Structure 1
């Protein structure tokens, strides 16, 4: 106070809170997660400790946030080989100039497995301490996953079409039966134009000789070139 009174200048005040990282260290702490996103704040903390820089992992997370890096669950996507990537790129180039009407009259189809009990994904919940086993805070499980069922489904720009349960093992004969019973009814239900096309992936059952002949016989034009 005496210094302030005599000089007329404000006295120095120590900043509140934990000391900030030096600028150079702050920059370096943000570079690694950008190159390797799976790096954790604890790993960064250990890395900084190895060069005698002590910093709390919460400080590291705040610094990453200020640099636009936020913790998120990674998105899942199919693993694509170079051949897959090339095929998809060629497909995109081939259909780059197709009009909207073409896509609106495409019937997209696929098969998938549906779990009969529960979801095979991680979920977050908000709960208070000591309430972990309250009914609202748990996800019930059954032995062996509760089973699953394979289904075939389709959709177009105008909405979903039919859904068919696949009984037993899927082969070309079963696949053709599903197409026979579900494709044209879905086309009528979705009010597709006569120029509609059928999309299917390159599963061997879809591209077998017997299926190809069946599609030709039943005058079903397919969208070629997509995996």
Structure 2
């Protein structure tokens, strides 16, 4: 009865949008960033390299799958998506995109991403050459993760003459590379044969 009334009012059940928890300080930072860049045109954004890391797991179930079934067939084997939340491994990757191109996708080996690794595996071999190709005006967008803002990495950027954007805390939704991660996740998830090992997952991500 309640559902019918809601439907009559144009309301439908939908999965809620997921967002980050924001304090008043976070909101103020986001607003200040938006006001600072609201007048930017395409030529302002063109030299910006948007970067990020993302973790993909073998056991991820994104709940996008749907099955067509009759009443009473919910538990039929053909209608069950097997998912073991405690199995499998994961792969962390780093990538960068801009209006003019993209970096190679870097698969991070096992272990935590430290400041030294970030400098030696990403900033030096990937970001620095990209900045050289873009030339004057290059701007690195990276979030405020600890390895990114560590002194050793800040010193490297300064020595190389690479400018980084002042990025507000808790602001992942403005980074367009988040859409790339989502597209990659969908592509992997929709494969006829899903990756079964960490290496297969890494290979699939690079291929995508």
Per the TM superposition, whether the score is higher than 0.5 is: yes
Query: In structure 2, do the counterparts of structure 1 residues 181 and 133 end up closer, same or farther at CA, with 3 Å as the change threshold?
Result: farther
Equivalent residue for 2:90? Answer: 148
Out of 100, 103, 111, the residue aligned to residue 45 of structure 2 is 103
Q: Residues 118 and 140 of structure 1 are in contact (CA less than 8 Å); yes or no, is this contact kept in structure 2?
A: no
Higher relative contact order (CA 8 A, sep 6+): 2
Q: 1:143 & 1:69 partners in 2: Cα distance?
A: 32
Alignment: residue pair count: 166
Q: TM-score, normalised by structure 1?
A: 0.64
Match of 1:84 among 22, 26, 33: 26
RMSD: 2.3
Structure 2, unpaired ranges of 5+: 170-208
CA distance in 2, matches of 1:216, 1:122: 44
- Deviation track 1:115-151 (CA, whole Å, cap 9, x = no partner) reads 124434464322234363334x232334623111222
Q: Distance in 2 between matches of 1:142 and 1:93?
A: 45
Alignment-derived partner of residue 28 in structure 1: none
How many Å separate the matches in 2 of 1:64 and 1:175? Answer: 51
Q: Which runs of 5+ in 1 are unaligned?
A: 1-56
Choose the corresponding residue for 1:182, options 104, 108, 126: 126
CA contact (8 A) 2:60 2:85 kept: no
Determine if the alignment matches structure 1 residue 201 to structure 2 residue 146: no
Counting only pairs closer than 5 Å after superposition, residues 49-60 of structure 1 correspond to structure 2 as: 57=1, 60=2
Secondary structure (helix, strand or coil) at the match of 1:150 reads strand
CA 1:71 to 1:215, structure 2 compared with 1: closer, same or farther past 3 Å? same
Q: Distance in 2 between matches of 1:107 and 1:95?
A: 16
1:161 matched residue in structure 2: 103
TM-score by length of 2: 0.70
CA distance, structure 1, for counterparts of residue 74 and residue 43 of structure 2 = 54
